[in-house]
Structure 1
């Protein structure tokens, strides 16, 4: 069995690598065509576009891995069936359960690769690609918003701990690619939602440990008590060269506001979801994206299960090319339904784990039904 396992693994890995490379080349070509429109504008050169496309490839690897595994496995198993190798394997006491176990071992390796790309490689590469593009164009992250970037935070009595004593709204005009903030306005409200402080700063930089340092600060304090209304409250204004303030808002959280949730890591999605929950904001979109990150590597095993019935279809039942085309259609359908259920779950407020797991569950049931059908034949 070890010899067969090694042989099957070699053939499937080779086929999957070829299918993945073909898809990556195709996607890179179309992405490059889309970037050519911006080449030559605002300092954005061809080499910048090439680097941007390359930085997007790890994200494509993560998204395309299940389809590549499905097509590569179908091709390898169809070749076994066409040359009667799979028939010989079955005659040599290799049962369907043993075949499924062999495929599961191979799928485990592909699932680990998918997790590594989804959690470590793709998010960093995508972020680096966006920085390369913005630096080449001389743009900042928040120039696409007229009023700048808005974020919400809570004010606690002792920095990050203690009782909640107010609410803070941050307005940032520009975020440079190095993480420096420009045009910062901070509105601090007390527990009764009365404006207590208005802080305006020319720039801000992150010092680590949830601490920001603001430069060229003008602080306006509204002295309000129970006897004085917010309209007639006395105002105290002071100018400060630099001031530090502690906030749960970090550069990672700010970068999330510009990122596609599907390209973020599960760790970042979980951290941002907790931040939104702490500020009583909607989290459905990010919860669904988080659970999709958890379930998506398991779809590798689903694709392996869908490919297994093709080994029982002999060459006379359909050419290898027809089986490959069928595999492509199944893979594309899986991606479309997976994305469709994400939107349906968001619109209908379905539980995030159910929304993420339902497409894989449906396709696994299809694989089981198809496998029983070919076995009966």
Structure 2
């Protein structure tokens, strides 16, 4: 990497980080306003609110990374063009192909940062943030008004809530036979997770349906073999967009084995898989919307258009994911199409710019 390459990448990286920090500050401001209403509930105070907001920031940084790359690239390249630095570089032998290679290196750096955030940092901190808030507000983690529903082989399991220490409470289990007839119903006061993945039920009441009678029994403790991995219980408490690719793949496998709908999680899996590429694509889009000289149109107008395009990508990706479920669009297209469209647009605009 020569001096010019390092200079361009440094300029673009600095502006991309500044843009990302500006968006995160704006996001945090609105989150704090939203969270003020929960202050005073249980032990949820100002300190815990700030912890919650800070732990959610890596997830937001992951979502905003392509937008930060686009705006940072637009601003830095526009500054280089306005100062005639791009013109001087091209006059000294920097071809468009070499410049695109430099932009690709810049995009690759932020693509790798997106992978690191999306796979390791954001999912773990998002789960901890939700557990922190739920535990502080009411001492429990609720998955909805009816609790968490799981399907395991011939059993349907309902867990009313999960405590911050991963203790399950209000467990109900319905077991059916091969003819899908109810054969057994059980209820347990609570359960803890064993190291081998099974559940240790406590205060179990069981009703077995016979041909002409119902046998009722109770036990103080009972081991329940469950193939569902303990980590998946944490996964189910967060939004699919906040899960890592590996977590999504594990849960998708579980859903398929139990013949359940996978569309939502499949779209999220493909979107997470393709999303780091979007950071690289946005570096090309930034170049496509940057006038190479101050004579090529209104620079401020092009910069504004590029920013609007980045916002369109940010919100269109989510909207397309929701609408695709309604019309049965294949998960691959639902997750990858926005990035593909922007990549094609970037190539078209760059070629058009070079023909001038």
Report the TM range for the smaller structure's normalisation. over 0.9
* Superposed CA RMSD: 1.7
Residue 217, structure 1, aligned to residue 204, structure 2: yes
Identify the match of residue 235 of structure 2 among 235, 241, 256: 256
Contact 1:175–1:181 (8 Å) recurs in 2: yes
Q: Secondary structure at the match of 1:315?
A: coil
Contact 1:78–1:310 (8 Å) recurs in 2: no
Superposition pairs of residues 36-115 of structure 1, within 5 angstroms = 36-115=36-115
Identify the match of residue 184 of structure 2 among 197, 201, 216: 197
**1: CA distance, partners of 2:40 / 2:130:** 17
Q: Secondary structure at the match of 1:50?
A: helix
- Offset, 1:218: 2.1
Name the CA shift for 1:135/1:181 in 2 (closer, same or farther; >3 Å).
same
The count of corresponding residues between Structure 1 and Structure 2 is 356
Residue of structure 2 in register with 1:303 after alignment: 282
Residue of structure 2 in register with 1:159 after alignment: none
Residue of structure 1 in register with 2:3 after alignment: 3
Per mean C-alpha deviation after superposition, the further-off stretch among 309-318 and 107-116 is: 309-318
Q: Secondary structure at the match of 2:241?
A: helix
Residue of structure 2 in register with 1:137 after alignment: 137
Q: State TM-score, norm by structure 2.
A: 0.95
- Offset, 1:168: 0.3
Q: State TM-score, norm by structure 1.
A: 0.90
Residue of structure 2 in register with 1:372 after alignment: 351
**1: CA distance, partners of 2:290 / 2:318:** 29
Residue of structure 1 in register with 2:155 after alignment: 168
**1: CA distance, partners of 2:176 / 2:73:** 59
Contact 1:80–1:311 (8 Å) recurs in 2: no
- Offset, 1:287: 0.2
Contact 1:185–1:201 (8 Å) recurs in 2: yes
**2: CA distance, partners of 1:15 / 1:9:** 10
Contact 1:182–1:203 (8 Å) recurs in 2: yes
- Offset, 1:320: 5.5
Regions of 4+ moved over 6 Å: none
**2: CA distance, partners of 1:322 / 1:197:** 68
Name the CA shift for 1:318/1:54 in 2 (closer, same or farther; >3 Å).
farther
Q: Secondary structure at the match of 2:203?
A: strand
Q: Secondary structure at the match of 2:142?
A: coil
- Offset, 1:123: 0.7
Contact 2:206–2:216 (8 Å) recurs in 1: yes
Contact 2:290–2:299 (8 Å) recurs in 1: no
Residue of structure 2 in register with 1:207 after alignment: 194
Q: Secondary structure at the match of 1:201?
A: strand
**2: CA distance, partners of 1:54 / 1:318:** 41
CA deviations on 1:189-214 (whole Å, 9 max, x unpaired) are 11112222222211101113321111
Residue 150, structure 1, aligned to residue 145, structure 2: no
- Offset, 1:28: 0.6
CA deviations on 1:2-27 (whole Å, 9 max, x unpaired) are 11111111111111111111111110
CA deviations on 1:91-137 (whole Å, 9 max, x unpaired) are 12211111111111121111110011011111111111111111211
Residue of structure 2 in register with 1:274 after alignment: 253
The unaligned stretches of length 5 or more in structure 1 are: 155-166
- Offset, 1:311: 4.2
